Amino acid sequence: MSTDVSWPKASEGGRVVGKQAIREYWTRQWTEFDPLVNVLDVINRESGVTDVRVHQLVKDRKGNLLSDTELWHVYSFTDCLIDRMDIKDGDCTPGGASTAFLTS
């Protein structure tokens, strides 16, 4: 990851910037959620963007299923380092908090 990598806060909406901020977000997120992500497809684009279609299962820490969905994880690279990651739902439109984390 680049020093100023930008990452979506999937469970909250918004973004975090920088490796340390991402580490703190992940640490907080994983105390609440137990996600399992399996890669289904990878598309490397000439523009330096890689689209990764994933099947994502999200459970709370008690094992209750919160969501079972397919999403796109979109990675942008500069000098072989991830500088941005976005999450797009099935219709490939970016949004706030990912529907994969919505608990209704």
Q: Which residues of 62-95 are buried (b: 16+ CB within 10 A; e: fewer)?
A: eeeebbebebbbbbbeeeeeebbbbbbeeeeeee
Residue 99 located in a structural domain: no
Residue 44 located in a structural domain: yes
Residues 62-80: tens digit of each pLDDT: 999 999 999 999 999 999 9
Count structural domains, the chain: 1
For residue 10, the domain's CATH number is 3.10.450.50
Residue 39 located in a structural domain: yes
User: What does the pLDDT read at residue 1?
Assistant: 96
Is the pLDDT at 91 greater than 90, yes or no?
A: no
Neighbouring CB atoms inside 10 A of 36's CB total 11
User: What does the pLDDT read at residue 49?
Assistant: 96
Residue 98 located in a structural domain: no
Is the pLDDT at 52 greater than 70, yes or no?
A: yes
Is the pLDDT at 101 greater than 60, yes or no?
A: no
Residue 104 located in a structural domain: no
Domain of residue 74, residue span: 6-87
Query: What's the mean pLDDT in 37-49?
Result: 94
Find all residues with CB under 8 Å of 13, minimum gap 6, and list them.
96, 97
